[in-house]
Amino acid sequence: MNITDPIRRQARLAPDAVAIIHPAASLTIRALDQAIDRIAHHLHAQGLRPGQRAALDLNDTDDLNGLILALAMARLGVGIARHSLPDEFLSWRIAQPALGLPGTLTIPPALFTDTTTTDPLPSHPDPNAVFMVFHTSGSTGTPKHAPISHAAMRNWVTQRILCMPETTGPLLPLLPVGSIWAMNCALRQLWTGGTLVLSRDPATDIDRHQVVNLVAPINTMRDLVRHRGSAGPFASLRTAETSGSHLPPALHRQMADHLCPTVWNILAGTECGTIAAAPASLTADTPGCIGYLFPGVQAQAVDDTDQPLPPGTEGTLRYRSDMAATHYLGDPTASARAFRDGWFYPGDIGSVLPDGRLILRGRSDERINSGGVKVDARVIEAALCALPGVAEALAFALPDDTGLDMIWAAIVTQVRIDEVILNAHCAQHLGPRAPEVVIQLNDPPRTQYGKLDRPRIIAYAQALNAEMNTTAVNQAEASA
């Protein structure tokens, strides 16, 4: 099955149903299906063929046209990739506006809004064809690219439709364009006759469009909670679905008070689909519990020789399902480390309880997970040490006032560095992985071997963090 086939079926069953609400335009399911055909015909005429791969060099804010273009490529059987995929793995690049480079195609903007009816284009039927090459980032920060087939994506979307709450009401995903999570949300709505709301003002659009299900990473949920102030839950919301890391109890309570009483926490991965989920209220009493394993997902804790451990025993976690990727493009070393004997090894440490609950205790490496922004501490430390005047650096995570882990760092410098220069350097070299707080030390505590004393530095940071959190709470109460 091609992943666009259910969209075409819905277009025949209920052609006038609203499929997408967007600030620029709203589309019925029939208009969406016809737009997919128009773009697909154009791409085919320009030379795109099944089995090829093409990268989308679209502006990340162009979410509606980007979705239509991705679905048109899927209908053709052309593998979709982000612009970060190296040229050696690509047949074409598709850009707006025209780049004027060899192998680059453009789409006339009028094709997205044209109402001319075109002949239906037969969808490419091979379920094993690559649907999309999704971008992921490993523990070292090195970009990786995981190809997902139409069959794997079909299984993932079907699993979510069967196992998650209401999907036919309006759904608003606050997710990066082109992410596998965003595509899953779009497909599960479009396949079931639901409405997808693409919003840039969620605080207003949830009420305006009577959104039933809100989907966002944990750090985005935290920001929305803070924006709400003392306001109560949205009247229309039935579920708030979040992922990216363990949901801190304090943030769960705030989400329930100000967004939606029913909050779902989910563990999913680009490489292996949805692994476990549950309402946060059912897992709050079990430290580290993410939720119950989804049907069709196998999870095991194994020892250092990859031998399965008894239920409830902590070890290295591995996952297997029919939603999983099988390798990373162009990275045989990382592929051999992460994909072994049909299992995916993400580097999680934890256990699987006899009743199917999944417990996460940490990482087998030094990766920091701040609300879904994941980075190896060594990447942050190397970037900080590249700044003149910084002799050493130490990166770690500390919880903010909601309990969500934030990225912190300590640097060793004899002359204090101007914060404007420091912040600009971090923004340039680390982007979203930049530390929230950087402590400057000129005489740091050290171990007997002369290394930075990590526990003592973190303890000092914890004291500062507690003071900052107390200040934030007092300010919030004063503003309320």
Same domain, 210 and 269: yes
Q: What is the pLDDT of residue 373?
A: 72
Could you write out the DSSP letters of every residue in 369-388?
Answer: EETTEEEEHHHHHHHHHTST
Distance (Å, whole) CA 394 – CA 383? 11
- CATH number for the domain including 280? 3.40.50.12780
The domain total for the chain is 2
Same domain, 305 and 388: no
Relative to beta strand 239-243, strand 315-320 is unpaired
The number of CA neighbours under 13 Å toward the Cβ of 413 is 20
- DSSP symbol at 97: S
Same domain, 16 and 95: yes
Same domain, 113 and 242: yes
- CATH number for the domain including 416? 3.30.300.30
Domain span at residue 138 reads 5-362
Number of C-beta neighbours around residue 42 at 10 A: 17
Same domain, 401 and 319: no
Contacts of residue 338, defined as CB under 8 A and 6 or more positions apart, other chains included, come to 271, 328, 344, 345, 346
Same domain, 397 and 316: no
Last residue of a domain, one of 362, 382, 398: 362
Distance (Å, whole) CA 70 – CA 93? 13
Same domain, 259 and 372: no
Same domain, 407 and 265: no
Same domain, 261 and 276: yes
Same domain, 274 and 175: yes
* CA-based nearest residue to 440, from 406, 407, 415: 415
Distance (Å, whole) CA 251 – CA 222? 7
- DSSP symbol at 416: P
Low-confidence residues of the chain: pLDDT under 70: 57-61, 96-103, 137-143, 166-167, 244-246, 362-367, 447-451, 471-480
Same domain, 288 and 206: yes
Same domain, 166 and 33: yes
Last residue of a domain, one of 326, 341, 362: 362
